[in-house]
A and B are shown apart, each in its own frame.
Chain A
Amino acid sequence: MSWLSSRGSRNARAGGGRRQQEAATPGGPELHRSLALASLLEAMGKQSKLQVLDLGPAVGGNVEFLARFGCKLYIEDLYGALAAHGPRPAGEPDRDLRGEPASRRSSGNGLPHSREWADSALADRLFAELLPFPPETRFDAVLAWDLFNYMERREVSALARHLTRFCRPGALLFALISILKQIPAQPIRFRILDSERLAYEPRTTASRPCPRYAPAELDNWLRGFRLDRSFLMRHGIQEYLFVREQD
């Protein structure tokens, strides 16, 4: 919460960001406009029988909101799944998604942990195991939220490779990348309030350094997707929409 609050107060002092950070309640979630979300929902509104993948945790409000689109929603809580995959001390800066330092990483199923992955096939195996979709699954939209902030480069690449198989050409990937120096130690819980506003609900007050991935880096790692548009927001979040390229 603190990193958002401090940023918000800086914005307030600077006289900006009022329209993006609305009605912030002390101790409660912060509300921000999301232009990428608006673009995503606009695109979704034009389609029917959508299949949407939410890589974040289950949030009742989001389910309710997305139900308006008549979509089939997959909720995978990938961060939680990876955390369950191995022990995860929270808030360690030099740790991967599971929070384990390289020297102590091991996994019960013989899979090495991500930062030791010399062979990308192993990374692919991990995501195939954690996100075992039926082969015929074709997503129209993927909500990655701020998950990439908590992933290492090879993890992002492997995840993108996995998702590419299950996304139809033209599918959109929505991601929120922080440009701040510090981010919460765990991914934020995002709640869709309406077609252009998100509530940010940090799950911890602990923080960790942010990898601050650049647009070009993400574009390079997310093979199979291309950057469609991005929005740099005043509160330190760069919003992205990637689009799944044609096969």
Chain B
Amino acid sequence: MVWKKTDDTQSEPAPIPQRPLTAATSEPLRRTDRPPATVGPSIFIKGDLSGEEDLVIEGRVEGKVDLKQHNVTIGKNGRVRADVFGRTVIVEGEVDGNLFAQEQAILRQSGAVRGNITAPRVMLEDGSRFRGSIDMESKETPKPAAAVPATASPSPTSPPSPPSPPSPSSPTSPGSPASPAIGPAAAGPPPPAANTEVGAAVAASRSS
């Protein structure tokens, strides 16, 4: 009996364990192994476009592209006049509309976007064209260290002065609603004389 049992297990047909495996991995397989659907260069779609797989647009789309869980690529030939929703949105062609990416929006060198981008991460490659706003709704937005030079020595002949802390007289007060949003309104050192030699950094301000 024992040997038969082992025999049974050895002769276990393969499809049994494969069945749940297929179901469990169907989603990743769809995203990684399956080639993305493509809207070909000669295709013109007017209306909403949605689905459950990655998409490459090489044609024209007007309306709305809604693939929130999947990657959307607007290829070099792609011309989209639509809001585009995707997990990652990559633009190599032209988009006139807003981009909403759950993970990342990438504007390639050949890409052009006129619209607003909302994504945790946005990458604009050099040469890409973009007009609009970028809202990186980051969960954590670490502030850079405030220790950056604010004023410089007005010495006309000395080399650039090392960074110095901001003037304590600066009225900027983050907690005060009445204070300016940003920017010290305090006057810096007096302006240099008109014949001052160009210095490393001449701080000037208008007395108002």
CB of A174, distance to nearest CB on chain B (Å): 10
B39 near A: Cβ within 8 Å?
no
Given A72-B134, A172-B182, A232-B204, residue A35 in contact with residue B144 (CB < 8 A): no
**CB proximity to A under 8 Å, residues B169-208:** 172, 174, 179-185, 187-188, 191-192, 196, 198-206, 208
Q: A72-B133, A196-B148 are in contact. Are A231 and B203 (CB under 8 A)?
A: yes
Among B166, B174, B183, the residue within 8 A (CB) of A228 is B183
Most chain A CB atoms below 10 A, which of B146, B183, B185, B198: B183
A197-B60 Cα distance, complex, nearest whole Å: 42
Q: List residues 214-243 of chain A with CB under 8 A from any CB of chain B.
A: 215, 219, 226-234, 236, 241, 243
* B7 CB within 8 Å of chain A: no
Q: Judging by beta carbons under 8 Å apart, are B182 and A46 in contact?
A: yes
Residues of chain B contacted by A228 (CB below 8 angstroms): 183-185, 187-188, 205
Q: Complex Cα distance A42/B148, Å? A: 6
- Nearest CB on A from B89, distance (A): 15
Given contacts A74-B133, A228-B185, contact A45 B160 (CB under 8 A): no
**A20 at interface, CB cutoff 8 A:** yes
How far apart sit A72 and B138, CA to CA, in the bound complex (Å)? 11
Q: Which of A46, A70, A231 contacts B152 (CB 8 A)?
A: A231
A76 and B196 CA atoms in complex are apart in Å by: 36
Give the docked Cα–Cα distance between A172 and B170 (Å).
14
Closest B residue to A172 using CB positions: B183
Which segment, of A57-65, A104-112, A118-126, faces chain B? A57-65
Docked-complex contact A140 and B128, CB < 8 angstroms? no
**Cα separation A74 to B183 with both chains bound (whole Å):** 19
| CB proximity of B123 to chain A, nearest CB, Å | 6
Which residues of chain B are within 8 angstroms of A60 by Cβ–Cβ distance? 123-126, 128
Contacts of B201 in A (CB 8 A): 33, 35, 231-233
Complex interface: chain B residues within 8 A of A195 (CB): 144-145, 148
**Closest CB in chain B relative to A180 CB, distance in Å:** 11
Which one of B124, B130, B131, B143 has the highest number of Cβ atoms from chain A below 10 Å of its Cβ? B131
CB within 8 Å of A: which residues of B? Answer: 107, 122-126, 128-136, 138, 141-146, 148-152, 159-160, 163, 166, 172, 174, 179-185, 187-188, 191-192, 196, 198-206, 208
Instruction: Please report the C-alpha to C-alpha distance between residue A170 and residue B191 in the assembled complex, in whole angstroms.
Output: 21
Contact A234 B198, beta carbon cutoff 8 Å: yes
Q: Is A69 an interface residue (CB 8 A)?
A: yes
Known: A19-B160, A38-B148, A170-B179. A232 touches B128 (CB 8 A): no
The residue on B at minimum CB distance from A77 is B131
Minimal beta-carbon separation of A82 from chain B (angstroms): 12
Cβ contacts under 8 Å, A75 to chain B: 130-134
Closest-by-CB residue of A relative to B175 is A46
In the complex the two chains form, what is the Cα distance from A215 to B185 in whole Å?
A: 17
- In the complex, besides A35-B152, A63-B134, A77-B131, 10 extra interface pairs with C-beta distance below 8 angstroms are A39-B150, A43-B172, A57-B129, A59-B124, A75-B131, A76-B131, A77-B130, A141-B182, A226-B208, A232-B201
Task: Give chain B residues whose Cβ lies under 8 Å from the Cβ of A90.
Answer: none
Shortest distance from the beta carbon of B1 to any chain A beta carbon, whole Å: 68
Q: Are B203 and A230 in contact (CB under 8 A)?
A: yes
Picked from A41, A73, A141, A171, the residue with its CB within 8 Å of the CB of B134 is: A73
Let me know if B138 and A70 touch, CB within 8 A. Answer: yes
Partner pick for A44 among B160, B180, B182, B188, CB 8 A cutoff: B182
Query: Does A68 belong to the interface (CB within 8 Å)?
Result: yes
Query: Which residues of A sit under 8 angstroms from B185, Cβ to Cβ?
Result: 170, 228, 243
- A39 to B179, alpha carbons, bound, how many Å? 17
